[in-house]
């Protein structure tokens, strides 16, 4: 149905739109075209809010040696980078861009223990821009998986997104594919994997959170 992060906003918009429709019905009687336009616009906005906060039920794909997509969206960048926040070494970065029309639920890419979880204030550059990974508001999470070492993912706010929700507290045991947070209104999620990971996606691919296989990991 709908993600819990949207409950308050959905209720607020439902009340506001309902009042708007009733008030317009009473006040605007001589111009039915204008009245219908305003009522339709209000209902369209409510439908968009409902669509944005949808949280469809899925048959999750759980594989211990695989990284599963942490979000719905499009692969916009794959490159080798020096990760300087936690690992202090080279990693394979895979960037997933979420448009406002994508499901914005974030999911754990692997199962294991949360070793690191840190929020960073920042700017609001468009999320698909490469610099957004280090300059934008973001949250960095590292999970120690049982068989495949430490895996990092980063929630990044975009130009429109202004609130990151992260459920991954340090010490928490998490399960691959389960709800890990939410980013409101356009965003990006980056994965940082070992260089010997076997990539199963390419730039331009569409992925589905909790289902699409991003990479196969080696033993550690």
Active site residues: 187
89-98 and 198-199 strand pairing: unpaired
Q: How far is CA 112 from CA 92, 142, 190, in A?
A: 20, 10, 18
Q: Which residues contact 152 (CB under 8 A, 6 or more apart)?
A: 83, 86, 87, 91, 116, 140, 141, 142, 143, 191, 192
Token pair belonging to 72: 């719905």
Element (H, E) at 17: helix 7-27
Element (H, E) at 34: helix 32-52
Distance separating alpha carbons of residues 86 and 63, to the nearest angstrom: 25
Secondary structure letter of residue 86 according to DSSP: T
Distance separating alpha carbons of residues 202 and 101, to the nearest angstrom: 21
Sheet order of strands, 179-183 included: 105-107, 179-183, 164-166
End-to-end CA distance of the chain: 38
């Amino acid at each position: 149905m709908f993600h819990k992060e949207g409950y308050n906003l959905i209720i607020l918009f439902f009340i506001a739109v309902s009042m708007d429709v009733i008030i317009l019905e009473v006040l605007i009687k001589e111009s039915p075209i204008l009245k219908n336009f305003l009522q339709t616009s209000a209902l369209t906005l409510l439908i968009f809010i409902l669509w944005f906060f949808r949280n469809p039920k899925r048959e999750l794909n759980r594989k211990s040696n695989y990284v599963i997509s942490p979000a719905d969206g499009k692969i916009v960048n794959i490159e080798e980078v020096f990760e300087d926040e936690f690992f202090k070494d080279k990693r394979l970065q895979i960037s997933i861009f979420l448009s406002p029309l994508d499901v914005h639920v974030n999911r754990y890419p692997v199962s294991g223990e949360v070793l690191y979880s840190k929020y960073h204030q920042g700017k609001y550059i468009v999320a698909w821009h490469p610099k957004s990974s280090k300059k934008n508001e973001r949250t960095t999470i590292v999970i120690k998986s049982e068989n495949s070492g430490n895996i990092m993912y980063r929630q990044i706010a975009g130009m429109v997104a202004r609130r990151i929700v992260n459920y991954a507290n340090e010490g928490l045991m998490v399960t691959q594919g389960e709800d890990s947070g939410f980013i409101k209104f356009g965003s990006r999620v980056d994965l940082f994997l070992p260089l010997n990971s076997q990539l199963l996606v390419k730039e331009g691919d569409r992925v589905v959170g909790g289902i699409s296989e991003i990479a196969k990991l080696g033993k550690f």
